[in-house]
Amino acid sequence: MLERAKDAPAGIDAVKAIGRVSKSDYQTVVEPLIEDARREGRRIRTLCEIGPEFTSFTPGAAWEDLKVGMGAMRLFEGCAVVSDVGWIRESTRLTSFLMACPVRVFGSQERDEALRWLTSLPEGPGISHRLTEAEVLVVEVEHPLRAPDFDALALTVDSWLRTHAELAGVVIHAREFPGWENIGGLIRHVRFIRDHHRKVRKIALAADSKIATLAPQLANHFVQAEVRRFEYDELNDALAWAASPPVRESSDAD
């Protein structure tokens, strides 16, 4: 069975597996937890304890775990697995890099440390963005990129593109490139580029010289866009360039 622990700090949902875990356990414990998070507009930090009292998952529970996880993956902000069960620890480590949120494994005597880790996870997005009146999307990069960052970007861009053919430009403003939180963030980044690279006229990278090497990579991804680099403090120049009409190449007939 699964049961909710009542001693977890505010903002953390703790679940403990005891004996044989079935499909109905997910339906009565995990699914209501997820629905509560959706209704309250919050993301989930979960502590999952699998101790010596645990014996096995039924086939129905395994399927329900996969189904629930896929449907709610974007809601999770962090997951700590507390267990001394060897196959649980190893399978969690092997699959954690594919998750959309950070996942860590702790021993049964490290429950307090697991709670501290969940509490210490950064809140808020790795990037912020805004759409200017000049039809330019400004992306401020501050922390490692997360899958939900690109979900938020896609929501803004797709809403705009429902009534417009393209974006005038995108300006990426970053002191340094912090990388991705995990493979989930990287995959979502690639998917965002795949879905939108033909609908942007100009890309401006306003950043310190340390990440100037990103400009050619942007040019390769956004194959139909002009790409130009500016210094980090030249944000206004980058905005003005991104909003300006593209330069038309002269033809032999001109």
Question: Could you tell me the residue range of the domain that residue 187 belongs to?
Answer: 127-243
179 pLDDT band, cuts 50/70/90, is confident
The reply to whether 174 and 74 lie within a common domain is no
Q: How far apart are the C-alpha atoms of 55 and 20, rounded to whole Å? A: 5
pLDDT of residue 49: 93
Tens digits of residue pLDDT in 29-39 = 888 888 888 77
Query: Which tokens belong to 164?
Result: 């417009």
Query: Which tokens belong to 216?
Result: 């050619």
Contacts of 22 (CB under 8 A, 6+ apart): 1, 58, 60, 61
Contacts of 68 (CB under 8 A, 6+ apart): 26, 30, 31, 34
The reply to whether 112 and 154 lie within a common domain is no
Tens digits of residue pLDDT in 187-240 = 778 788 888 878 888 888 888 766 655 555 655 555 577 888 898 999 999 999
Question: Are residues 44 and 76 in contact, defined by beta-carbon separation less than 8 angstroms?
Answer: yes
What is the pTM (predicted TM-score) of this model? Answer: 0.54
Tens digits of residue pLDDT in 58-112 = 877 665 565 566 666 667 888 999 999 998 899 888 877 667 678 899 999 999 9
Q: How many domains does the chain have?
A: 2
Res 253 pLDDT > 50: no
- Residue bearing tokens 């919050």: 42
Question: Are residues 204 and 137 in contact, defined by beta-carbon separation less than 8 angstroms?
Answer: no
The larger pLDDT score, comparing residue 177 to residue 11, is at: 11
Compute the average pLDDT of residues 1-10: 87
The reply to whether 132 and 148 lie within a common domain is yes
Query: Which tokens belong to 132?
Result: 């200017």
- Identify whether 221 is part of a domain: yes
- CB environment 148-161: b (16+ within 10 A), e (fewer): bbbeebeeebeeee
